[in-house]
């Protein structure tokens, strides 16, 4: 499929609504996945002292300068795959640290509207062809600016030019939830980002129409302020990827793609920084300089094609320009004073206003449709007659 076909027409995904019982079921699914990952995180930290057994786990990808790595079980390890699917990856574990604050990481990941996804996705992921919010169940609020629960769709192209000749684009329909809660084990403040594939009746397969193969994934990130390294956030992630399809994608390619996707979390602070630049710029355009360093609107990005600072529009030279945001040093210093929580609160207000203006939403932000579609959660575990071995043992 040619990339020129993206973005897909809006009519491809009709608006949907869900009953209270269905919404409760999605919340319970979120809670099960997050709590299970919390248990695995405690086991990794307390029982394994933050290190996996090298006889069982091997490194798929490592980021040395970020002290971050993604692991997969060795072939001889008796750890069951999460699905019976032939193309499904083994369970993947990732752990390490990110420079920044917990609020910065959560701000980087927050995207409760399609416009917000359009802004954040290029800063986090590679080869994304199209992405949008399909339905919103829980919106961020001023009290809980990082809390979100909803359904999203994303299409991703092959990661290399050579693969484009024989690997079709993949798309994913998934339940996403973000927020901050406390670990029941030790009371630690933990941010979470959960994505889990679902089968929505309103999101049909696009293979025959657009040549896109519907894949599946399930990942849960946990973030907490480091107790040993000030200014850093500890990361723990667990999940799997299943590209599906017939041939063309090897296990090595699946693992490489999954590891690359997991490492998107390392870019979250940078994405948050770009949101801060845009927040400052929007406030200045509205004449609210006093608030610029204490609601963020989304755009397609920042640019300085005329050699001017993209925030204050002052003329800049290359030596005084911050490459990632094309801004002058003065604005680069100002952005350090911006509270990510304030940006998130303003972003939450913008999200609520967007949903209120939409004719396809209720006052609670739940999408509407003429037919209530049933939802089927992708199985997390392979059904076996034997009891699976603990993931950190052997």
pLDDT given for residue 81 in this prediction? 87
Give this prediction's pTM: 0.82
The mean per-residue pLDDT over the stretch 63-74 comes to: 90
What angle, rounded to 10 degrees, do the helices at 340-357 and 102-109 form?
20
Q: Where in the chain do CATH 3.30.530.20 domains reside?
A: 3-267
Check pLDDT > 70 for residue 102. yes
Poorest-pLDDT segment among 48-52, 285-289, 331-335: 285-289
The band of 209, judged by pLDDT with boundaries at 50, 70 and 90, is: very high
φ and ψ at 332, to 5 degrees? -65, -35
Per the CB < 8 A criterion, the answer to whether 115 and 298 are in contact is yes
pLDDT in tens, 369-384: 333 334 444 444 443 3
- Average pLDDT of the chain is 81
Q: From CA 235, how far away is CA 96, in angstroms rounded?
A: 5
The mean per-residue pLDDT over the stretch 98-119 comes to: 96
Best-predicted range by mean pLDDT (6-15, 209-218, 292-301, 313-322): 209-218
pLDDT in tens, 246-295: 767 888 889 999 999 999 999 999 999 999 988 988 887 776 655 544 43
Check pLDDT > 80 for residue 328. no
pLDDT given for residue 365 in this prediction? 39
pLDDT given for residue 288 in this prediction? 60
Query: What does the DSSP assignment read for 331-367?
Result: HHHHHTT--HHHHHHHHHHHHHHHHHH-TTB-TT--B
pLDDT given for residue 393 in this prediction? 37
By three-state DSSP, how is residue 215 classified? coil
> Mind spelling out the 3-state secondary structure of 286-330?
CCCHHHCCCCCCCCCCCCCCCCECCCCCCECCHHHEECCCCEEHH
**CATH (residue range 3-267):** 3.30.530.20
Check pLDDT > 60 for residue 228. yes
Q: From CA 215, how far away is CA 5, in angstroms rounded?
A: 19
pLDDT given for residue 386 in this prediction? 36
pLDDT given for residue 289 in this prediction? 52
Query: 310 versus 95: which is more confidently predicted?
Result: 95
Which residues are paired to 68 by β-bridges?
A: 63, 96
Please measure the distance between the N-terminal and C-terminal CA atoms of the chain and give it in whole angstroms. 45
The band of 89, judged by pLDDT with boundaries at 50, 70 and 90, is: very high
pLDDT given for residue 370 in this prediction? 30
pLDDT given for residue 391 in this prediction? 41
pLDDT in tens, 133-192: 999 999 999 999 999 999 999 999 886 655 666 788 999 999 999 999 998 878 889 999
pLDDT given for residue 151 in this prediction? 97
pLDDT given for residue 336 in this prediction? 79
Q: From CA 45, how far away is CA 190, in angstroms rounded?
A: 14
């Amino acid at each position: 499929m040619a990339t020129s076909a993206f973005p897909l027409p809006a009519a491809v995904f009709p608006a949907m609504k869900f009953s209270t019982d269905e919404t409760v079921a999605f919340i319970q699914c979120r809670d099960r996945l997050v709590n299970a990952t919390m248990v695995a995180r405690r086991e990794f930290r307390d029982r394994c002292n933050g290190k996996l057994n090298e006889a069982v786990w091997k490194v798929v990808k490592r980021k040395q300068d970020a002290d971050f790595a993604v692991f997969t079980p060795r072939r001889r390890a008796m750890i069951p795959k999460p699905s019976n699917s032939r193309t499904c990856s083994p369970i993947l574990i990732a752990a390490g640290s990110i420079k920044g604050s917990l609020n910065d990481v959560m701000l980087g990941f927050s995207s409760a509207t399609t416009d917000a996804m359009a802004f954040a996705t290029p800063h986090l992921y590679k080869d994304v062809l199209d992405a949008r919010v399909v339905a919103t169940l829980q919106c961020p609020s001023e009290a809980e600016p990082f809390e979100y629960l909803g359904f999203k769709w994303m299409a991703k192209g092959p990661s290399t030019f050579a693969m484009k000749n024989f690997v079709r684009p993949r798309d994913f329909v998934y339940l996403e939830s973000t927020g901050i809660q406390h670990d029941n084990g030790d009371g630690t403040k933990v941010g979470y980002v959960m994505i889990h594939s679902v089968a929505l009746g309103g999101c049909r397969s696009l293979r025959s129409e657009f040549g896109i193969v519907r894949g599946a994934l399930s990942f849960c990130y946990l973030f907490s302020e480091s107790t040993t390294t000030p200014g850093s956030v500890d990361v723990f992630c667990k999940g799997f990827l299943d590209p599906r399809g017939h041939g063309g994608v090897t296990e090595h390619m699946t693992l490489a793609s999954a590891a690359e996707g997991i490492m998107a979390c390392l870019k979250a602070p940078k994405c948050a920084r770009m949101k801060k630049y845009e927040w400052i710029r929007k406030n200045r355009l509205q004449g609210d300089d006093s608030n610029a360093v204490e609601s963020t609107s989304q755009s397609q990005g920042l640019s300085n094609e005329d050699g001017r600072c993209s925030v204050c529009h002052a003329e800049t030279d290359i030596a005084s320009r911050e490459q990632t945001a094309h801004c002058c040093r003065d604005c680069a210093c100002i952005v350090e004073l911006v509270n990510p929580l304030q940006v998130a609160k303003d972003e939450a207000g913008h999200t609520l206003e967007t949903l209120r203006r939409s004719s396809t939403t209720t006052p609670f932000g739940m999408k509407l449709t003429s037919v209530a579609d049933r939802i089927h959660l992708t199985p997390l575990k392979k059904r076996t007659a034997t009891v699976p071995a603990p993931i950190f043992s052997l």
